[in-house]
Chains A and B, each alone.
Chain A
Amino acid sequence: MTPDLIYGLTGIAVFAIGLVGALCAQDRLRRVLALKLCSVGAGFVLVVAAWRSPPADPDPVPHALVITGIVVMVSATAVALALIRRLQTLEAEDDDD
């Protein structure tokens, strides 16, 4: 097992765990976390794509892609959390009535 294969398989496994969570979890917060796991898994695979066996330098392009992916996912998580809070407030107001 070369390091890139281990990391690649780990990435795919993490993605798969996230996928199951995103499809099956009931709790809203758990589903957001599952989606985050998916993005970590996809990031893993991209980082593996950058790996070159030493002494060769790693390929910088996938690193740039992963950073972009992280930024996108941070924004998406923020939006999802804001929506969840809003929905909880609305539902709490309904319960009071």
Chain B
Amino acid sequence: MKKTIITVVGKDTVGIIAKVCTYLAENGINILDISQTIVQGYFNMMMIVDTNQATKSFGDMSDELSGLGEKIGVVIKCQKEEIFDMMHRI
């Protein structure tokens, strides 16, 4: 399974998760796990998603989510899971 980590960081506001999830649903991306915290008004979320059935390429998804982030006023980043696996798992 090809997994991607999506991180969303920025000032908390209404509907961040809704907008990101809507985008993912529309593009055939399945969410496997979500964790989220708010520290001093700052929203910090991580999603692990499965992109096997995705209708878009990784590059397009990454650009579009980043564009969506700009509209909401948060920073959205897509990274393949391997970089975290390599660094934190032996």
- A and B from one complex: no
Q: A residues touching B (Cβ–Cβ < 8 Å)?
A: none
Q: B residues touching A (Cβ–Cβ < 8 Å)?
A: none
